[in-house]
């Protein structure tokens, strides 16, 4: 999207001047009422509004914009840097607030970010994001721990710190944060290449990272470009760095120090321009003590590490219900239910905050998606909040289904469709009603999962 048409609300000359310097076409609305009349005909890419507009009118504009699902971003200009409650405006959906004349240059950055976004992006609900969270990344959470992480993300991304280390338990959001650092530093159009150091053998990982020349080993029948080169001037994400074999760690250290590397079997030095982002769910210092991780590499990596607190940690507990709501609203697990489930019952919410979340945000996301799938009412209750599916399954699944060891959501959906069909005596309209989906979707799911109508007195067959 290009930002060519800017609509200014109000008569403040400084706002007009700012808009003029960033747009090809300028539209002016005298006040917020005027704006609604102009919006359709002008079809602006951006709305600039002055902080001097009466506060109620400003809030009203943002609320009406959300109600009407208007996607045009609104930037508020606070020329005097006098605004008292910027959070309210951001919460109501303002894209950003420029504070004082020294903040004017940031409009160029905001416009650049808007240009990078796709035109079909969903309007962002700022309720889920902390003030520190830049609008181009979707890191949900407002807890003290998340705010601290976000501050660090901005600081590191805005610096030339390379390598960047991200540390946190499994499922805490390390890859999400790695992508955020990448987007903030390089923009979304630059390459972000990821490699999981635990997933490949030492030789494969080496040639994956560095590439190889033809004939450098038996199966090297052609030259290969490594990920360090493929990343260009973007980022390379070395996931689970603690699992990297020690001799490869030495080679990586050389890349970090020299900023050059050679392909396996090659003699030419290749410059590495990429930001190297590494993640670990292990305590790297402990790995150093166990002699599994090189001490020199550890020190080289941990210049400015970004830590992610576990979800159970006191400083992050405030994120649990926010994340749960975010996943309820944004999951695609059951498109028919989109927007129909409004939240959690009080008991369900209490249960979520009590749980210890060893799998952190990933576990929470799975629990919510499972609940959305199972829930037939407009609020997720305790009954469908299955935190330990294995235990629940052992306790209450019918005999024919206890054979199923796989608790993926897909499997859960199959089971649920089969259950509903049994319950409805294979009357498709009733089964569809029980599931809260259309008959057509039910037919599609029966076909997709190959669920066959059983002979009498048998459970449905799940293939
Ligand atoms: N703060 C957050 N806001 C929204 N979604 C999140 C957040 N943190 C994590 N997630 C989601 O949780 C899931 C796990 O996150 P991610 O893959 O980044 O975790 P990880 O720390 O890399 O896990 P692992 O160590 O197992 O690789 C992803 O679907 C991610 O989008
Ligand atoms: Mg990960």
In a domain, 351, yes or no: yes
Which residue among 123, 155, 189 closes a domain? 123
Same domain, 21 and 99: yes
Find the 312 Cα to ligand 2 centroid distance in Å.
18
Phi–psi pair at 78, nearest 5 degrees = -105, 80
Residue nearest to atom 28 of ligand 1 (CA): 362
Structure tokens at 455: 């002979």
Same domain, 211 and 271: yes
Phi–psi pair at 210, nearest 5 degrees = -95, -20
- Please report the pLDDT score of residue 407 as a whole number: 56
Q: Which of 290, 293, 280 is nearest to 247 (CA)?
A: 293
Give the nearest ligand 1 atom to 166 CA.
21
Give the nearest ligand 1 atom to 178 CA.
18
Cβ–Cβ < 8 Å for 453, 426: yes
- Please report the pLDDT score of residue 402 as a whole number: 35
In a domain, 46, yes or no: yes
Please state, in angstroms and rounded to a whole number, the distance separating the CA atoms of residues 253 and 296. Answer: 8
Is the pTM of the predicted complex or chain greater than 0.95?
no
Q: How many of the other CB atoms lie within 10 Å of CB of 399?
A: 7
Distances (CA, A) of 107 to 15, 46, 185, 361, 459: 11, 11, 17, 34, 62
Which residue among 94, 123, 152 closes a domain? 123
Structure tokens at 275: 């930001």
- Please report the pLDDT score of residue 308 as a whole number: 97
In a domain, 41, yes or no: yes
Same domain, 202 and 302: yes
Find the 363 Cα to ligand 2 centroid distance in Å.
13
Instruction: Determine the structural domain holding residue 367 and report its residue range.
Output: 314-387
Quick one: 421 exposed, middle or buried, by C-beta within 10 A (0-12, 13-18, 19+)?
Answer: buried
In a domain, 458, yes or no: no
Helix (H) or strand (E) holding 183: helix 174-186
Q: Which of 310, 170, 150 is nearest to 240 (CA)?
A: 170
Same domain, 68 and 186: no
In a domain, 462, yes or no: no
Prior bond of 55 cis (ω within 30°): no
Say which ligand is closest to the CA of 168.
Answer: 1
Tell me, what CATH number does 102's domain have?
Answer: 3.40.50.2300
Helix (H) or strand (E) holding 306: strand 306-308
In a domain, 454, yes or no: no
Say which ligand is closest to the CA of 360.
Answer: 1
Q: Residues near 302 by Cβ (< 8 Å), separated by ≥ 6?
A: 165, 284
- Please report the pLDDT score of residue 84 as a whole number: 61
Same domain, 95 and 44: yes
Residues with CB under 5 A from ligand 2 (ion): 175
Same domain, 336 and 233: no
Find the 275 Cα to ligand 2 centroid distance in Å.
17
DSSP labels, 403-440: T-----HHHHHHHHHHHHHHHTTT-HHHHHHHHTS-HH
Same domain, 168 and 275: yes
Tell me, what CATH number does 434's domain have?
Answer: 1.10.10.60
In a domain, 457, yes or no: no
Q: Which of 42, 43, 52 is nearest to 13 (CA)?
A: 52
SS3 86: helix
Distances (CA, A) of 370 to 113, 204, 415, 445: 34, 36, 12, 17
Same domain, 104 and 33: yes
Tell me, what CATH number does 336's domain have?
Answer: 1.10.8.60
Q: Which residue has the tokens 């020299």?
A: 258
Tens digits of pLDDT across the chain (463 residues):
577 888 999 888 888 988 888 888 888 888 888 888 777 777 788 999 988 888 888 888 888 876 665 678 899 898 887 766 666 788 788 888 888 888 888 898 888 888 776 544 444 567 899 887 887 788 999 999 999 999 999 999 999 999 999 999 999 999 999 999 999 999 887 899 999 999 888 999 999 999 999 998 888 889 999 999 999 999 999 999 999 999 999 999 999 999 999 999 999 999 999 999 999 999 999 999 999 999 999 999 999 999 999 999 999 999 999 999 999 999 999 888 888 899 999 999 999 999 999 999 999 999 999 999 999 999 999 889 888 766 555 444 443 333 334 557 777 888 888 888 887 778 787 777 777 777 778 888 888 888 887 764 444 454 4
Residue nearest to atom 9 of ligand 1 (CA): 173
Tell me, what CATH number does 204's domain have?
Answer: 3.40.50.300
DSSP labels, 31-58: SHHHHHHHHHHH--SEEEEETTS-HHHH
Please state, in angstroms and rounded to a whole number, the distance separating the CA atoms of residues 458 and 354. Answer: 40
Find the 174 Cα to ligand 2 centroid distance in Å.
6
- Please report the pLDDT score of residue 163 as a whole number: 97
Same domain, 220 and 271: yes
Find the 310 Cα to ligand 2 centroid distance in Å.
14
Distances (CA, A) of 459 to 295, 426, 429: 58, 11, 19
Same domain, 149 and 269: yes
What is the side-by-side strand order in the sheet with 74-78?
Answer: 25-29, 5-9, 46-50, 74-78, 96-99
Q: Which of 40, 89, 29, 87 is nearest to 68 (CA)?
A: 40
Helix (H) or strand (E) holding 446: helix 439-449
Please state, in angstroms and rounded to a whole number, the distance separating the CA atoms of residues 127 and 141. Answer: 9
The alpha carbons of the chain give a radius of gyration, in whole angstroms, of 26
Same domain, 375 and 430: no
Mutate to test the pocket of ligand 1, among 127, 175, 316, 319 (most ligand atoms within 8 A of CB): 175
In a domain, 45, yes or no: yes
Find the 242 Cα to ligand 2 centroid distance in Å.
13
Q: What is the phi-psi region of residue 28: left when phi exceeds 0, alpha when psi lies from -120 to 50, beta otherwise? A: beta
Which residue among 308, 343, 360 closes a domain? 308
- Please report the pLDDT score of residue 229 as a whole number: 95
Same domain, 49 and 178: no
Number of structural domains (the chain) is 4
Quick one: 194 exposed, middle or buried, by C-beta within 10 A (0-12, 13-18, 19+)?
Answer: middle
């Amino acid at each position: 999207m290009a930002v060519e048409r800017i609509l200014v609300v109000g008569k403040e000359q400084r706002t007009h001047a700012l808009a003029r310097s960033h747009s090809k076409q300028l539209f002016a609305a005298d006040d917020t009422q005027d704006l609604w009349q102009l919006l359709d005909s002008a079809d602006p890419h951006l709305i600039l509004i002055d902080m001097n507009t009466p506060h109620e009118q400003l809030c009203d504009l943002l609320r009406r914009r959300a109600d009407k699902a208007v996607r045009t971003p609104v930037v508020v200009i606070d020329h005097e840097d006098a605004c008292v409650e910027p959070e309210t405006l951001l919460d109501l959906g303002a894209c950003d607030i420029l504070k004082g004349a020294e903040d004017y240059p940031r409009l160029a950055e905001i416009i650049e970010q808007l240009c990078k976004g796709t035109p079909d992006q969903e309007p962002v609900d700022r309720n889920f994001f902390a003030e520190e969270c830049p609008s181009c990344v979707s890191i949900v959470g407002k807890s003290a721990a998340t705010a601290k992480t976000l501050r660090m993300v901005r600081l590191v991304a805005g610096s030339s710190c390379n390598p960047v280390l991200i540390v946190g338990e499994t499922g805490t959001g390390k890859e999400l944060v790695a992508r955020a650092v990448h987007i903030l530093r390089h923009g979304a159009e630059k390459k972000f290449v990821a490699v999981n150091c635990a997933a490949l053998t030492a030789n494969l990982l080496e040639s994956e990272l560095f590439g190889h020349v033809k004939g450098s080993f038996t199966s090297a029948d052609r030259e290969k470009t490594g990920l360090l080169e493929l990343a260009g001037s973007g980022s390379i994400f070395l996931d689970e760095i603690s699992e990297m074999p020690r001799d490869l760690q030495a080679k990586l250290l050389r890349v970090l120090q020299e900023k050059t590397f050679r392909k396996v079997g090659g003699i030419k030095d290749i410059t590495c321009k990429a930001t190297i982002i590494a993640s670990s769910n292990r305590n790297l210092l402990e790995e150093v003590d166990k002699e599994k991780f090189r001490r020199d590499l550890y020190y080289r990596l941990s210049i400015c590490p970004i830590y992610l607190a576990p979800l159970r940690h006191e400083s992050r507990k405030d994120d649990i219900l926010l994340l749960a709501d975010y996943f309820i609203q944004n999951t695609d697990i059951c498109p028919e239910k989109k927007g129909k489930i409004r939240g959690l019952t009080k008991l369900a919410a209490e249960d979520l905050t009590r749980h210890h979340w060893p799998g952190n945000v990933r576990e929470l996301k799975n629990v919510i998606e499972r609940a959305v799938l199972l829930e037939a009412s407009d609020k997720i209750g305790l009954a469908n909040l299955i935190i330990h599916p294995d235990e629940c399954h052992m306790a209450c699944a019918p005999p024919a289904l206890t054979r199923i060891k796989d608790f993926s959501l897909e499997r859960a959906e199959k089971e649920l469709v089969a259950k509903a069909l049994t319950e409805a005596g294979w009357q498709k309209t009733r089964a569809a009603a029980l599931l809260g989906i259309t008959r057509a979707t039910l037919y599609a799911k029966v076909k997709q999962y190959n669920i066959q109508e059983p002979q009498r007195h048998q459970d449905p067959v799940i293939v």
